[in-house]
Amino acid sequence: MQAEAASAGFYEHKMNRQKYPRIQLRTVKELMDGKNIERPSNVAALDGTFKKAPKAKAKGGEQPALGL
């Protein structure tokens, strides 16, 4: 499994040119010990890499009755 994850290669962030593994394996113990995934910092995330989706527009009107 580790060889398959390593064969996926790296993602290169377009602003800071740092490389991050595309697939990162973590055990439950590692997660509980506080080991996180490697990813760009919050400052680097200000570009389009982590762009938020637009908010959905609420549909107007009333909910129809169930007719029970």
In this prediction, residue 43 carries a pLDDT of 57
pLDDT for position 45? 54
Verdict on whether the full-model pTM lies above 0.75:
no
Instruction: Name the nearest CA neighbour of 14 among 43, 38, 49, 46.
Output: 49
Task: Determine the pLDDT at residue 32.
Answer: 92
**Could you read off the pLDDT tens digit of each residue along the chain, which spans 68 residues?**
889 988 889 888 887 788 888 889 999 999 899 888 887 776 555 555 556 788 888 777 777 788 88
Written as six digits, the tokens of 11 are: 């993602």
